[in-house]
């Protein structure tokens, strides 16, 4: 017969819990099933594996029972939790979309709710209750797992940690939605009796203590019974201060041997000191390394003698202060040790009793790396805060985790409104695939630079932006999210539109007189040729003059053709911008088009060597605008001849690549850098500091832009392969017809 966990009496629950432990059966699921609304749970742990088992069960049972879940954890635990939940069959993308699950970096959340390192009640309530309210829109109850208090303990801020615990408890009474909270603490944080007062205060803030992993693995059934029965009973016996102290004392005594091992292995330097004389009784290995001193130099000496205090008088004042305050935080200071390398330490001293005798423990933590990272973080934070560009970060699921002031100005959302929401809220309707494409690059560790797109503001208006997106990694190098820098390019876009309109007008105005001028030059050439052929009465001098004039007219005609080509380029750009450039699509033989274009170029440049490399096919049919294909290939060839030495050949080829055909032009010119390769397809871009061969002129920087647009309209792609100093290969692809596809497969 099944019973609801809510109906199980406490004593029966304890017995079932004990039986599960003795039988080495998991108890976590039963524990989470009996979780009551508003409960504040505490979990002590030694290993991440045990913690993850607890949190996975906490979140999974919550989601499957219809509750929403909010996770505020370290980046490492966020990643591990995500993997475990997905392995257990939880579709995180779906629960995100359903508004059932939010996961944020605890360190980043701390920065939003804190002022000068301490939690601010107003910020805490606004930010956290906002997240809970967001989840509570579709759910009657919210489960929360948090590690922000743990981070404050690890940073040596016990006061701030206890203040944050109190804020969580207060939120139960003033919050707008019901929630349950699970907090977890590594046992390494509580390394001795000196933490008893803070430890007790923290325990008082909880309504229930879960068994830790050590208690679940005692050697005998009797020990298991004692350990497991102790924890549920603590929840009832913590009603009076004396009973609470007895439970904590028993818990600490039970782990005394383990804490000694922690003392020896602690990454903090620890001193045990006689609080009356200031003499050092014991120290751990980390302390000797930090001070750069040997055991005999430290143990038996006074604090001032090893350089922690200036002199004996200063030591006496310090000991009096410890007696009065019991816990003295000396803050972070530069290492005073003469023989030690330059560093920063944080020093905390605590007074406690051992068998009726007072003892002082001094914890010294090496803060050098932290101070350096803090300085870097403050520097970067100042840059982000003062930046005119919108800067935001998001996790791999696209949930926004940080948001600077410029982003608020650009998009209209405050940090409190937007953090925890999907970044696709900023995307145009119907453009969700843009996010997937970007994140594919990020997951591969690739950057997305200067990507121009349009975003949607809070008020529904559109803003054109240039976006650069980069992966964010944790300390282990694992990609955990992405940072995005967006620049408003509205002004630039407006100027471009004005420029395009101006170019369109000017080009049309230039086209008419240029056409007339070309016609007149051609007519003059024909008449001179007729005169030279028919009139035999002209003298040698007259003939020479007429031939010179004819030569000059030829040069003028060549210049007019060049100007006409430039004007045609401007017209093409204008039509492309207006969406009025139409293609005359028809079946054409690409092999014949490529061959004819190369033949024309070779005839125009008889001194240059152009090598043609074609597949062994009679025909290769594509549906295309023949003239436009010749324009693209002619542009590629012109650039290759223009920028490569006259003694070097230019190769033109055609390859088959799946369902596409690839046409390429290879030169032996100066080559291009990665930045130049990225920008060379832009309008009006010209490579600088590159020598043009004699007889050639530079253009307007429109040719390759037009090539890109024309090939895109043919459903193909353009590209370049180049190494500086080793030439370049420009290429474009086109889909070929079904008939050609069958022919090429038969040929292969």
Most confident option among 172-176, 300-304, 355-359: 300-304
Nearest to 415 by CA among 378, 373, 453, 458: 458
Nearest to 709 by CA among 628, 613, 626: 628
pLDDT over threshold 50, residue 239: no
CB neighbours of 660 closer than 8 A, spacing ≥ 6?
A: 716, 733, 734, 735, 736
pLDDT of residue 16: 47
pLDDT over threshold 90, residue 617: no
pLDDT of residue 739: 58
pLDDT over threshold 90, residue 291: no
Asked if 736 and 661 touch (Cβ cutoff 8 Å), the reply is: yes
The CATH 3.40.50.300 domain(s) of the chain lie at: 5-260
Q: Does domain 5-260 have CATH number 2.40.40.20?
A: no
Token pair in block for residue 343:
């560093």
CA dist 134 and 100 (Å) reads: 9
474-491 mean pLDDT: 91
More confident site: 31 or 110:
110
Nearest to 229 by CA among 248, 203, 211: 211
pLDDT digits (tens, 9 = 90+) for 518-529: 778 888 888 888
Asked if 208 and 39 touch (Cβ cutoff 8 Å), the reply is: yes
Given 3.40.50.2000, 3.90.1560.10, 3.90.1150.10, 1.10.287.130, which CATH number is that of 493-578? Answer: 1.10.287.130
If one counts every other C-beta atom within 10 angstroms of the C-beta of residue 359, the result is 19
The DSSP secondary structure of 296-362, one letter per residue, reads HHHTTSBTGGGTSSSSHHHHHHHHHHHHHHSEEEEEEEE---TTSPS-EEEEEEEEEEETTEEEEEE
Quick one: pLDDT band at residue 235, thresholds 50, 70, 90?
A: very low
The CATH 3.30.565.10 domain(s) of the chain lie at: 586-747
CA dist 499 and 493 (Å) reads: 10
pLDDT over threshold 80, residue 678: yes
Q: Which of these ranges, 68-72, 165-169, 256-260, has the smallest mean pLDDT?
A: 256-260
pLDDT of residue 114: 92
Q: Which of these ranges, 226-230, 346-350, 556-560, has the smallest mean pLDDT?
A: 226-230
Quick one: pLDDT band at residue 591, thresholds 50, 70, 90?
A: very high
pLDDT over threshold 50, residue 3: no
Quick one: pLDDT band at residue 509, thresholds 50, 70, 90?
A: low
The CATH 3.30.450.20 domain(s) of the chain lie at: 266-370, 387-488
Buried b (16+ CB within 10 A) or exposed e, 696-720: eeebeebbbbbbbbbbebbebebeb
155: which DSSP letter?
T
The CATH 1.10.287.130 domain(s) of the chain lie at: 493-578
Which three-class secondary structure state does DSSP give residue 475? Answer: coil
Asked if 621 and 736 touch (Cβ cutoff 8 Å), the reply is: yes
pLDDT of residue 695: 55
Beta partners for residue 285, in sequence order? none
pLDDT of residue 460: 94
CA dist 471 and 480 (Å) reads: 8
Quick one: pLDDT band at residue 209, thresholds 50, 70, 90?
A: low
pLDDT of residue 218: 41
pLDDT over threshold 90, residue 722: yes
The DSSP secondary structure of 5-56, one letter per residue, reads GGGS-HHHHHHHHHHHHHTT---HHHHHHTPPTT-EEEEEESSHHHHHHHHH
More confident site: 513 or 734:
734
Which three-class secondary structure state does DSSP give residue 694? Answer: coil
Which three-class secondary structure state does DSSP give residue 446? Answer: coil
Quick one: pLDDT band at residue 401, thresholds 50, 70, 90?
A: very high
| Segment holding 534, helix H or strand E | helix 490-534
pLDDT over threshold 90, residue 233: no
CATH architecture of 387-488: 2-Layer Sandwich (3.30)
> What CATH number labels 586-747?
3.30.565.10
pLDDT of residue 26: 38
Main-chain phi, psi angles of 542, to 5 degrees: -65, -40
| Segment holding 624, helix H or strand E | strand 621-624
256-282 mean pLDDT: 80
What's the whole-number average pLDDT of the chain?
79
Beta partners for residue 735, in sequence order? 660
Quick one: pLDDT band at residue 288, thresholds 50, 70, 90?
A: confident
Q: Which of these ranges, 89-103, 150-164, 254-268, has the smallest mean pLDDT?
A: 254-268
List C-alpha distances in Å: 199 to 165, 237, 241: 12, 16, 13
More confident site: 300 or 231:
300
∠ CA 162-165-169, nearest 5°, is: 140
> What CATH number labels 266-370?
3.30.450.20
| Segment holding 545, helix H or strand E | helix 540-578
């Amino acid at each position: 017969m099944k019973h609801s966990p809510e109906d199980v009496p406490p004593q029966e629950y304890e017995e079932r819990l004990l039986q599960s432990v003795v039988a080495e059966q998991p108890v976590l699921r039963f524990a989470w099933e009996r979780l009551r609304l508003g409960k504040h749970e505490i979990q002590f742990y030694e290993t991440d594996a045990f913690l993850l088992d607890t949190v996975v069960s906490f979140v999974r049972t919550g989601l499957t029972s219809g509750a929403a879940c909010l996770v505020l954890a370290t980046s490492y635990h966020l990643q591990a939790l995500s993997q475990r939940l997905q392995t257990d069959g939880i579709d995180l993308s779906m629960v995100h979309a359903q508004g059932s699950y939010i996961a944020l970096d605890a360190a980043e959340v701390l920065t939003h709710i804190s002022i000068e390192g301490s939690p601010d009640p107003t910020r805490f309530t606004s930010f956290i209750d906002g997240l809970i309210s967001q989840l509570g829109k579709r759910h009657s109850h919210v489960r929360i797992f948090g590690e922000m208090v743990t981070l404050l303990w690890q940073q040596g801020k016990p006061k701030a940690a206890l203040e944050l615990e109190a804020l969580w408890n207060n939120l139960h009474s003033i919050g707008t939605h019901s929630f349950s909270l699970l907090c977890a603490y590594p046992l390494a944080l509580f390394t001795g009796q000196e933490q008893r007062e803070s430890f007790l205060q923290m325990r008082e803030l909880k309504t229930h203590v879960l068994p830790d992993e050590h208690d679940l693995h005692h050697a005998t059934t009797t020990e298991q019974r004692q350990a497991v029965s102790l924890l549920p009973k603590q929840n009832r016996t913590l009603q009076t201060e004396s009973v609470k102290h007895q439970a904590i004392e028993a818990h600490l005594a039970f782990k005394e041997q383990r804490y000694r091992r922690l003392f020896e292995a602690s990454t903090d330097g620890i001193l045990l000191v006689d609080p009356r004389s200031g003499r050092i009784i014991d120290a751990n290995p980390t302390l000797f390394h930090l001070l750069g001193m040997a055991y005999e130099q430290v143990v038996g000496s006074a604090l001032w003698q090893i350089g922690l205090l200036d002199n004996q008088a200063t030591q006496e004042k310090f000991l009096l202060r410890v007696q009065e305050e019991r816990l003295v935080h000396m803050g972070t200071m530069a290492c005073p040790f003469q023989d030690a390398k330059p560093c920063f330490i944080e020093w905390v001293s605590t007074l406690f009793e051992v068998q009726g005798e007072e003892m002082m423990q001094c914890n010294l933590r090496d803060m050098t790396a932290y101070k350096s990272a803090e300085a870097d973080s403050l520097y970067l934070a100042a840059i982000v805060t003062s930046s005119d560009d919108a800067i935001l970060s998001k996790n791999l699921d696209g949930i926004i985790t940080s948001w600077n002031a410029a982003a608020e100005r650009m998009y209209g959302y405050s940090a409190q409104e937007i953090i925890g929401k999907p970044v696709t809220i900023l995307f145009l309707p119907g453009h969700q695939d843009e996010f997937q494409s970007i994140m594919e690059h990020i997951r591969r560790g690739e950057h997305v630079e200067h990507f121009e797109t349009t975003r949607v503001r809070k008020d529904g208006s559109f803003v054109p932006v240039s976006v650069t997106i980069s992966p964010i990694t944790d300390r282990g190098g694992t990609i955990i999210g992405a940072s995005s820098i967006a620049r408003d390019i509205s002004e630039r876009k407006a100027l471009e539109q004005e420029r395009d309109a101006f170019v369109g007008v000017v080009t049309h105005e230039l086209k008419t007189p240029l056409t007339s001028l070309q016609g007149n030059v051609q007519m003059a050439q024909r008449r001179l040729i007729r005169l030279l052929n028919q009139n035999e009465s002209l003298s040698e001098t007259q003939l020479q003059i007429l031939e010179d004039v004819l030569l000059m007219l030829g040069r003028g005609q060549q210049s007019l053709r060049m100007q006409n080509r430039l004007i045609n380029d401007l017209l093409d750009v204008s039509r492309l911008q207006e969406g009025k450039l139409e293609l005359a699509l028809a079946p054409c033989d690409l092999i014949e088009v490529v061959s004819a274009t190369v033949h024309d170029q070779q005839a125009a440049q008889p001194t240059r060597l152009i090598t043609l490399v074609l597949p062994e096919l009679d025909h290769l049919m594509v549906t295309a605008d023949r003239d436009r294909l010749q324009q693209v290939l002619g542009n590629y060839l012109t650039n290759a001849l223009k920028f490569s030495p006259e003694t070097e050949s230019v190769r033109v080829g055609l390859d088959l690549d799946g369902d596409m055909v690839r046409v390429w032009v290879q030169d032996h010119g100066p080559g291009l850098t990665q930045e130049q390769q990225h920008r060379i397809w832009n309008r009006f871009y010209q490579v600088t500091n590159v020598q043009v061969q004699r007889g050639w002129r530079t253009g307007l920087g429109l040719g390759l832009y037009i090539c890109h647009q024309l090939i895109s309209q043919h459903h193909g792609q353009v590209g370049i392969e180049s190494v500086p100093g080793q030439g370049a290969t420009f290429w474009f692809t086109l889909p070929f017809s079904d008939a050609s596809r069958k022919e090429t497969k038969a040929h292969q």
